[in-house]
Amino acid sequence: MMAGDRVSAKLGVAVKANAQNATADAVIATVYANTFSVEELRQIEAFYRQPVGQKFLEKSQAILQQSAQIGEDTGRKAAEALRTSLTQLLRQKGHKL
Q: What is the mean pLDDT of the chain?
A: 87
- The four Cα atoms 49, 55, 58, 64 give a dihedral, to 10 degrees, of -110
Q: Residue-wise over 15-37: b if at least 16 C-beta within 10 A, else e?
A: eeeeeeeeeeeeeeeeeeeeeee
Please write the tens of the pLDDT for every residue from 34-69: 999 999 999 999 999 999 999 999 999 999 999 999
* pTM (two decimals): 0.55
Task: Tell me the Cα Rg of the chain.
Answer: 25
Q: Report the interhelical angle of 38-49 vs 51-92 (nearest 10°).
A: 100
> What residues does each domain of the chain span?
1-35, 51-97
